[in-house]
Amino acid sequence: YFVGLLELTIKQTEAQFGPAKLVTTGEAPQGRAMRQLGELVDVYWAGTSHEREQNLLAVTIPLVKGLLGYRMPIIQKKQISEFSRIETISQLKKFTACQGLSWPDTKILEHAGIQVLKNTDYERMFKQVAIGRCSFFPRGIYEGISEVSARKEVHPNLVLYSQLIIYYPFPMYYFVSKQNPQLHQRLTTGLEQLIDSGKFEQYFRSHPITSKVFPLEQWQTSRIIRLQNPILPATTPINVDKYWLQL
């Protein structure tokens, strides 16, 4: 999704900024990839935080329209009855979450008083839920559906529990090095043009990853627990309606 949107953005701005070639690198832990910006990597996408916006240039246009902040727990199938009784943050605090060591979500969950088992390995978190090391792995509403499906043979006891949504305002941005303001300007310009032309919305609604959240009516019966985001920068454009999707 993010590579495809980046390709659209580069193509959109070719007349103004010139041709560019997009080369993808191998996967790396989020923290390491962010530190490599300006050296081995030109652009990376991740959830935002005060620290990240201080150290890097953030293209402050939410890439999935805020969907990253709508989280659903991946749990063991045998836990469905337990999670069906959760309606408050106090009840959720009785369970331990798996989360990435360098992910901003960890600080958000801990700020809410939720115990977090921190990991540096993404794949390990699915295993830890499957064997009971942690109770749930909160994933973006557009992420969890395909992630559980892709691991149904390895971890057949996992399920995405869609009746509980944990929400906090949390945009996903493209980040670039402070030494590359031209790329920052190009990505900002391109994304704004894609939004204003309707091409962004078309891509968002038709892509196999994000199209799964539609129709929005399917989430009407889900319970929502709202958390504060203590690391959300004050400059976040939360009042610009065209950037966000309201579930």
Per residue in 82-110, pLDDT (tens digit) is 999 999 999 999 999 999 988 889 999 99
What does the block give as tokens for 52?
Answer: 């990240």
Taken in order 99, 3, 212, 241, the sign of the CA dihedral is positive
Instruction: Round the CA-based radius of gyration of the chain to a whole number and report it.
Output: 18
The partner residues of 166 in beta bridges, in order of sequence, read 71, 225
Q: Where are the beta strands (DSSP E) in 69-221?
A: 70-76, 97-100, 116-119, 137-140, 158-160, 164-167, 172-176
Would you say how long the chain is, in residues? Answer: 247
- The answer to whether 127 and 110 have CB atoms below 8 angstroms apart is no
Q: Which residue in this structure is represented by tokens 């309201």?
A: 246
pTM above threshold 0.75: yes
pLDDT at position 176 is 96
Q: Cα–Cα distance between 80 and 82 in angstroms, integer?
A: 5
pLDDT at position 229 is 93
- The answer to whether 238 and 119 have CB atoms below 8 angstroms apart is no
What does the block give as tokens for 182?
Answer: 């031209």
* φ and ψ of 170, to 5 deg: -155, 90
pLDDT at position 75 is 97
* φ and ψ of 140, to 5 deg: -55, 140
Q: Cα–Cα distance between 48 and 58 in angstroms, integer?
A: 8
Q: Helix axis angle, 199-206 relative to 181-197, nearest 10°?
A: 80
Q: Cα–Cα distance between 74 and 146 in angstroms, integer?
A: 11
Q: Cα–Cα distance between 20 and 182 in angstroms, integer?
A: 13
Nearest to 103 by CA among 41, 57, 168: 168
DSSP 145: H
Nearest to 92 by CA among 123, 71, 120, 67: 71
Nearest to 170 by CA among 228, 218, 225: 228
* Mean pLDDT, the chain cut into blocks of 10 residues (247 residues total): 96 95 82 84 92 94 93 96 96 95 90 94 94 95 88 95 94 95 97 97 94 89 94 91 89
pLDDT at position 102 is 82
Q: Cα–Cα distance between 183 and 43 in angstroms, integer?
A: 9
